[in-house]
Amino acid sequence: MTLAQMLDVFALAAIACNVATVGLTVATMRRRHNQRFGRVANYRQSAAMSTHAFLSFAALLAIGASLGSLYLSEIAHLEPCRWCWFQRIAMYPLAFVLAVGWLRRDQGVHVYTLPMCVVGAAMSMWHYLLQLFPTLEGSTTCSITSPCTVRYAWEFGFVSIPYMAGSVFILVGVLLNLSRRRS
């Protein structure tokens, strides 16, 4: 596969993350509404299975995002900028901690990982804003050889690499929050 094809696949995955985030949020709001008005039976029976399923999906997403970033830098030879490195600093440990939490069936893994999701999503959003509005970048923000405003990818007219990372951080955060509420 060429780099352009891989970026298309990554962009479609990011959009799928966005769709899943919206779908899970709407389903959760609907479920709460139905529970509030007594329209739904007790969900306690399937809570343990769904908690583990949410955690396993979150771990797979973070691992996939980490492998994708390694592909972009090590195989496609795209030089990460300073903000890309900050996002990696949040994503790599997130993938590792989620994988360990999933293997150990740790019901409290969200305590360690939700803050990483919030910080990573905030950094991704800032980096995406830098790409949209290059005038936001200060002279000390990034290096000359790898400026943060460069768009290695701009798929479908709006999906860049920070957008992809942010989509994963947000979906993982939603999954962890759902897992926390059901445990």
What pLDDT, in 10s, does the model give residues 20-44? 999 999 988 888 777 777 665 555 5
| pLDDT score for 163 | 97
pLDDT at residue 58 is higher than 90: yes
**pLDDT tens figures, 70-82:** 999 999 999 999 9
Per DSSP, helices labelled H in the chain are 3-36, 44-70, 82-104, 109-132, 161-182
| pLDDT score for 120 | 97
Average pLDDT for the chain: 88
pLDDT band at 45 (very low <50, low <70, confident <90, very high): very low
Residues composing the chain: 183
Fold classified for 3-182: Bromodomain-like (1.20.1550)
pLDDT at residue 89 is higher than 70: yes
**Mean pLDDT across 127-138:** 86
pLDDT at residue 4 is higher than 70: yes
User: CA–CA separation, 163 vs 137, rounded Å?
Assistant: 17
pLDDT band at 48 (very low <50, low <70, confident <90, very high): very low
**Is-contact 171 17, C-beta < 8 A?**
yes
Of residues 182 and 30, more confidence is placed in 30
Longest dimension (CA), the chain: 60
| pLDDT score for 122 | 97
pLDDT at residue 174 is higher than 90: yes
Count CB atoms within 10 A of the CB of residue 119: 16
| pLDDT score for 147 | 79
Tokens 């306690």 locate to 44
What are the residues facing 159 on neighbouring strands? 155
Who contacts 138 (Cβ-Cβ below 8 Å, separation ≥6)? none
**Is-contact 141 82, C-beta < 8 A?**
yes
Of residues 85 and 28, more confidence is placed in 85
| pLDDT score for 39 | 60
Least confident of 32-46, 49-63, 102-116: 32-46
